Amino acid sequence: MWRRDVRRFRRDALSEGALERLIGTACLSPSVGLSQPWRFVIVDDAVRRQAVLDNFTRCNADALNDYSGELAQRYATLKLAGLREAPCHLAVYADHGTEVGHGLGRRTMPEMADYSVVAAISTLWLAARAEGIGMGWVSILDPADVATALDVPADWRLIGYFCIGYPQTEADSPELERVGWEQRRPVADHIVSR
Q: How far, in Å, are 43, 79, 112, 194 from residue 57 at the CA level?
A: 18, 12, 31, 44
Task: Please report whether residue 115 resides in a domain.
Answer: yes
Q: What is the pLDDT of residue 113?
A: 96
**Tally of domains within the chain:** 1
Task: Please report whether residue 155 resides in a domain.
Answer: yes
How far is C-alpha 156 from the geometric centre of its chain's CA atoms?
15
Tens digit of each residue's pLDDT (9 = 90 or more) over 87-99: 999 999 999 999 9
Average pLDDT over residues 21-29: 98
Task: Please report whether residue 189 resides in a domain.
Answer: no
Task: Please report whether residue 2 resides in a domain.
Answer: no
- CB atoms near residue 54 (< 10 Å): 13
Whole domain around residue 166: which residue ranges? 18-179
DSSP state of 137: E
| 3-class secondary structure, 160 | strand
Distance separating alpha carbons of residues 158 and 163, to the nearest angstrom: 15
Q: What angle do CA 138, 141, 163 make, to 5 degrees?
A: 25
Query: Is 70 exceeded by the pLDDT of residue 2?
Result: no
Task: Please report whether residue 187 resides in a domain.
Answer: no
Choose from 5-19, 94-108, 150-164 the range with maximum mean pLDDT: 150-164
Q: What is the pLDDT of residue 1?
A: 64
Tens digit of each residue's pLDDT (9 = 90 or more) over 134-171: 999 999 999 999 999 999 999 999 999 999 999 998 88
**DSSP conformation letters of 74-133:** HHHH-----TTT-SEEEEEEEETT--TTTTTTTSS-TTHHHHHHHHHHHHHHHHHHHTT-
Task: Please report whether residue 122 resides in a domain.
Answer: yes
Write phi, then psi, for 134 (nearest 5 degrees).
Answer: -105, 155
Task: Please report whether residue 85 resides in a domain.
Answer: yes
Give the whole-number percent of the chain exceeding pLDDT 90. Answer: 80
Task: Please report whether residue 185 resides in a domain.
Answer: no
The CATH number assigned to the domain holding 142 equals: 3.40.109.10
Average pLDDT over residues 11-30: 96
Q: What is the pLDDT of residue 174?
A: 82
**DSSP conformation letters of 39-74:** EEEE---HHHHHHHHHHHHHHHHHHHHT--HHHHHH
